[in-house]
Chain A
């Protein structure tokens, strides 16, 4: 339990973890989970806009059927770079490394994560991996697609695949160590009285995500190592000339990559499960079912990777096994969507920006999830696989889901992290703009996919141009809506009004300490209540 000696707030600027020590050195060698979370958020924002630039190039190029901007090779490198940066350097670390690092110890009443030094090592691994990937970009980029399918990535691509592989390999270990840190923290550092079923759903999300991170990422590390060795030696396990089977690579790659998409979505579910009860001022609907659903998604998520390979030459029987399991994994997600909606029942709902992002998340995640159901049926996956239907599906879940929830979480905990309030009207405007821009960008791609436009095409058949122009128009609106938060959140850092300890009247231990919290998290030990006890006043 956190033994605290209360020392009162003395000078004008309240002492907090932000100004506990000054100087860049103190930031780069900090062991404080809150500072490491902020270091991560800087890296993540940088990589988000780097990937965003690649996305803009792609959308501009697709304005014309014969490619408006880039030649074919640059286009191939642009979508590969967009994929690699967005998947490994933004989506996977975004919520766990920033909000997770900052809030997990606070939410369970601990002073820090279990291994603070390992937490800092994870950040340096993440940055080193990032540097390798940027170095690969500067040396001419990669043209294999973020999936590195063999034998193209090992035998036929002469772009610097090796550098990106080393980059992703190193960042993979940053994810493993973060997962390890969270598992041990949740198991061992809960304050007395904080039993498992009093944990907020965000902590449950971090636990489920850490399980997936720890058990899936090593498979990626070794698979990419095999690719690197095969490129170096010229001979390897996936080489068809040697009798190796390219499908073996796809099995190993997707055994990691499907759980990886659950690494991206589970934290978003945790954030939504925190925001919706707060702005509906009502207990979450079906807390136990939500917990079991999260852990079920994490575990069953490991059994379903084959739905990426229905048309890849896999046997019919394996296709059917993976299909039924993929339908099974969709059930917990359906439960969660219904529970979020039911949480609004009989609440006192207010519509601040975090709530708009959370409601947007629930809506778009549901649409994304449903189209996932269509792709889980092999008979429908055969015509739709590797078309823009799949692109629209995973962007609905990733951009409509994870990015919306990440921004919702940033807005929701912004007062707690920085102690300042952002400008509410601007935030609401950018949330609504993002919702509209997003739908205009990706809904036409569902129709394009149904029409049969394949993905990763630098040039496309002229009949697809109308929808592509629509999609590119939506993309420009989306880009603007992503730039807006940079300004008004940055502005609030300097000019924002001071936020109290609990501006949203939320429940949870992190709202029982000052904002921004002191370096040791709590001045006096927090009071443990039932999770989401909105029927009682905040302690």
Chain B
């Protein structure tokens, strides 16, 4: 982390180039106006200083010039707003094929979990030129995941998933900071993002892939917590079948429907009766306190890895409701 001082920040992500373009345009624009006003101010101060004989008759029509410097800034600002609106929307919507990596923020460390089961503390290994989506949550207070080189930042909230995406375009190690004040060691809660060539990244995954993949860890939890007792295929209890549930439309008891994403699965585990599936009785107990954030992420990874049973199976099991 002892990078030497370099004035220009490395532009190491797919969007950082465009953001720098907007940044330097704004710097030049504001600089020009600022210098303009300073020069005019100095000129007036010198030209009309006390004791200098000069024509000081005032022309009284001030409205036209007032309107110019009311509408001109307005037009420029709307232009800049449009440009930043376009960029901001791109930043906030990750591409569909982005690889998901889970990050759990804890008071004063970043715990990273790759789908393949690799776990890292305060470090994140990512392949070059691959869109990475970080699904993040916090176990205690609000933190904020910030990589200056990628120009990305996203607060990490307890009790909710927030996401951030980037595609690294430069090899090397880039500092990672926590920018939302989170207590004593807020300033030490940093780390590194290491961008590697795809083949180095693959070999790194193999070397660190010792423990079971996240999905396998999730499957183990699925059995140990007793989920399979009701949701398993051979279960006697009348409960929705969860194979291939991730990303599907789920029809709820109150007539509305929702996409089964991370937040839906997390809420269903902690608050089963908040969104009851149509045609099922709200008999599922809450697992609050029995499974921590890491376990939840593992269960979600497991449910993502399951495939819906083949279509020719009976209609009832295919979309999981009667």
Contacts and interface: CB of A to CB of B under 8 A. Distances in A.
A19 interface: no
B179 A386 contact: yes
A299 interface: no
Given A152-B181, A359-B41, A327 B155 contact: no
Interface in B235-256: none
Interface stretch (B87-95, B126-134, B212-220, B257-265): B87-95
Contacts of B141: 149, 151-152, 155-156
Taking each of B7, B30, B34, B186, which has the highest tally of chain A beta carbons within 10 Å of its own beta carbon?
B186
A242 to B, nearest CB: 9
Contacts of B2: 461-463
A143 B33 CA distance: 40
B146 interface: yes
Interface string A343-380: 01111111100000001001100110011011001111
Contact of A451 (B65, B91, B148): B148
Nearest to B44: A344
A385 B27 CA distance: 16
B85 interface: yes
B188 interface: yes
Contacts of A280: 48
A517 to B, nearest CB: 28
B187 interface: yes
Contacts of A149: 141-142, 180-181
Contacts of B37: 337-338, 341, 363, 366
Interface in A431-469: 447, 450-452, 454-464, 466
B269 interface: no
Taking each of B55, B77, B190, which has the highest tally of chain A beta carbons within 10 Å of its own beta carbon?
B77
Contacts of A452: 9, 146, 148-149, 175, 177
Contacts of A348: 48-50, 56
B48 A349 contact: yes
A423 interface: no
B160 interface: yes
Interface string B52-83: 00011110001101100110011001101101
Interface string A76-107: 10000000000000000000000000000000
B56 A346 contact: yes
B41 A386 contact: no
Contacts of A73: 184
Nearest to A67: B187
A457 B48 contact: no
A463 B160 CA distance: 34
B175 A461 contact: yes
A377 B184 contact: no
Contacts of B148: 383, 451-452
A42 interface: no
Nearest to A315: B92
Taking each of A330, A379, A452, A454, which has the highest tally of chain B beta carbons within 10 Å of its own beta carbon?
A379
A323 B56 CA distance: 42
A379 B48 contact: no
Contact of A342 (B65, B146, B149, B190): B65
B155 A311 contact: yes
A334 interface: yes
Interface in B10-47: 19, 22-23, 26-27, 30, 33-34, 37-38, 40-41, 44-45
Interface residues of B, number: 82
Please classify how large the interface on chain A is, using the bins under 10, 10 to 19, 20 to 34, 35 or more.
35 or more
Nearest to A363: B38
A450 B181 contact: no
Interface stretch (A43-51, A210-218, A283-291): A283-291
A157 B38 CA distance: 46
A363 B183 contact: no
A214 B157 CA distance: 32
Given A334-B73, A462-B2, A377 B80 contact: yes
A151 B81 contact: no
Contacts of A535: 58
A385 B50 CA distance: 45
A53 to B, nearest CB: 21
B80 A151 contact: no
Contacts of B26: 373-374, 377, 380
A345 B153 CA distance: 45
13 contacts: A152-B181, A155-B141, A156-B140, A289-B66, A312-B142, A327-B78, A349-B45, A363-B37, A370-B34, A380-B19, A382-B19, A382-B88, A383-B148
In order of increasing CB-CB distance, the 9 nearest A-B pairs are A452-B148, A377-B84, A240-B159, A344-B44, A379-B87, A370-B30, A327-B77, A379-B84, A457-B187
Interface of A: 72-73, 76, 143-145, 149, 151-152, 155-157, 240-241, 243, 246-247, 280, 282-283, 285-286, 289, 310-313, 316, 319-320, 323-324, 327-328, 330-331, 334-335, 337-339, 341-342, 344-351, 359, 362-363, 366-367, 370-371, 373-374, 377-380, 382-383, 385-387, 447, 450-452, 454-464, 466, 535
Given A319-B88, A383-B151, A461-B190, 20 more contacts: A151-B142, A156-B107, A240-B159, A313-B160, A327-B80, A327-B81, A334-B73, A337-B37, A342-B65, A344-B44, A348-B50, A373-B30, A374-B27, A377-B88, A380-B23, A451-B9, A454-B179, A458-B187, A461-B3, A462-B2
